[in-house]
Amino acid sequence: MSKVLVTGGCGYIGSHTIVDLIENGFEVISIDNLSNSSEDALLGIEKITGKKIHNYRVDLADRTRTFDIFEEHQDIKGIIHFAALKAVGESVEQPLRYFHNNLAGMINVLMAMNTFEVNNLIFSSSCSVYGNADHLPVTEETPLKEAESPYARTKQMCEQIIEDTLHRYTSLNAIMLRYFNPAGAHESALIGESPINIANNLVPVITETAIGKRESMTVFGDDYPTRDGSCIRDYIHVMDLANAHTKALTYLLEGNNKLNTEIFNIGIGEGVSVLEAVQAFEKVTGQPLNYEIGPRRPGDVIAIYANKNKTEQSLGWTPQRNIEDIMRTAWEWEQKRTGATIG
């Protein structure tokens, strides 16, 4: 049983990935400072898998305490590094907090890998590194444009830090997974997205509106040059995304990588507009959504979706779920965590 260190294991994508790792025979430990998460997620994981996960409440910017964990666990075979701040708008307001947190954590993870000879890293990157791409869908070879926010810049910078570091330390291997828009929840509704800070992402905004936590929601712009005027994204179910991490780690552990840094897009390969997402929610849940059309949100790219051919061919990964599965599971999770049943 290979031991994996998951940073940000109490967070949204981290917790779902731990479930998938356990179901595929991995042993997991977590480091999470709980700045935007709670250890309640670990209880959900235990109910689903029967396994208790230990979380070290440590900030990765604290190198001494981070290294202590590696000292204690000499048998870590791989790291999945999720821990980071991720709100685009907040990053514009607080750029230094974003640069400090996301870069210091990344650098300390790489230093620990080099010091303790942990050779395999999966890094949470983002499609935001592409900026406003000239051609869609984007492939991993699509040139990166100017980052639209400090958040996106931290993802570009982390990718470069990994590349430069692994160029020097060639026994280390890394895969950067460029996520498109993760959404949805585990089928059991025992874990899901539960940010401590206010939700900004479309799917939690939709479910919070439908359940009455918000009076209404705003569709940010219907005058974009797209099929219905609203922005287009590639929404990927969080359990499909979780499984991409397990497959990527297995690929590295089996030595199947051709280079010591490789990049893969993780999306379903189809664009869905904001208005189509709203319609999908209303269709699968039967809940009418109180929304209005508002102005464009600064920093939004117009349209982006993935070419996933390389990921499918190399990792043998294919997404199994669509936007309707996302809305159904997100809604079940919203009702469960709110303690309400509607419809």
- 202 counts as binding ligand UD1 under rule CB under 6 A: yes
- 88 counts as binding ligand UD1 under rule CB under 6 A: yes
The only residue of 213, 297, 310, 336 in contact with ligand UD1, by rule CB under 6 A: 297
Q: Applying CB under 6 A, which part among 36-44, 216-224, 246-254, 329-337 lies near ligand UD1?
A: 216-224
29 versus 133: smaller Cβ distance to ligand UD1 = 133
Q: How far is the CB of 320 from ligand UD1 (least distance, A)?
A: 21
- 128 counts as binding ligand UD1 under rule CB under 6 A: yes
Q: Applying CB under 6 A, which part among 58-66, 198-206, 252-260, 320-328 lies near ligand UD1?
A: 198-206
122 versus 172: smaller Cβ distance to ligand UD1 = 122
Q: How far is the CB of 108 from ligand UD1 (least distance, A)?
A: 22
Three-class DSSP labels, 29-50: EEECCCCCCCCHHHHHHHHHHC
- 121 counts as binding ligand UD1 under rule CB under 6 A: no
- 86 counts as binding ligand UD1 under rule CB under 6 A: yes
- 38 counts as binding ligand UD1 under rule CB under 6 A: no
Q: How far is the CB of 31 from ligand UD1 (least distance, A)?
A: 21
The only residue of 109, 127, 236, 266 in contact with ligand UD1, by rule CB under 6 A: 127
Q: Which of 98, 151, 179, 305 is flagged as catalytic?
A: 151
Per rule CB under 6 A, count of chain residues that contact ligand UD1 = 24
Three-class DSSP labels, the chain: CCEEEEECCCCHHHHHHHHHHHHCCCEEEEECCCCCCCCHHHHHHHHHHCCCCEEECCCCCCHHHHHHHHHHCCCEEEEEECCCCCCHHHHHHCHHHHHHHHHHHHHHHHHHHHHHCCCEEEEEEEHHHHCCCCCCCECCCCCCCCCCCHHHHHHHHHHHHHHHHHHHCCCCEEEEEEECEEECCCCCCCCCCCCCCCCCCHHHHHHHHHHCCCCCEEEECCCCCCCCCCCEECEEEHHHHHHHHHHHHHHHHCCCCCCCEEEEEECCCCCEEHHHHHHHHHHHHCCCCCEEEECCCCCCCCECCECCHHHHHHHCCCCCCCHHHHHHHHHHHHHHHHCCCCC
- 214 counts as binding ligand UD1 under rule CB under 6 A: no
Could you tell me whether strands 232-233 and 272-273 are parallel, antiparallel, or unpaired per DSSP bridges? antiparallel
151 belongs to the catalytic site = yes
- 181 counts as binding ligand UD1 under rule CB under 6 A: yes
In this structure, which amino acid lies at residue 290? N
* Phi, psi angle pair for 169, to nearest 5°: -105, 85
43 versus 289: smaller Cβ distance to ligand UD1 = 289
305 versus 317: smaller Cβ distance to ligand UD1 = 305
The only residue of 62, 163, 276, 300 in contact with ligand UD1, by rule CB under 6 A: 300
- 17 counts as binding ligand UD1 under rule CB under 6 A: no
- Integer Cα distance of 301 and 324 in angstroms: 23
Q: How far is the CB of 231 from ligand UD1 (least distance, A)?
A: 3
- 274 counts as binding ligand UD1 under rule CB under 6 A: yes
Residues with a known catalytic role: 151
The residue ranges that bind ligand UD1 (CB under 6 A) are: 86-88, 126-128, 152, 179, 181, 200-202, 205, 217-220, 231, 233, 274, 297, 300-301, 304
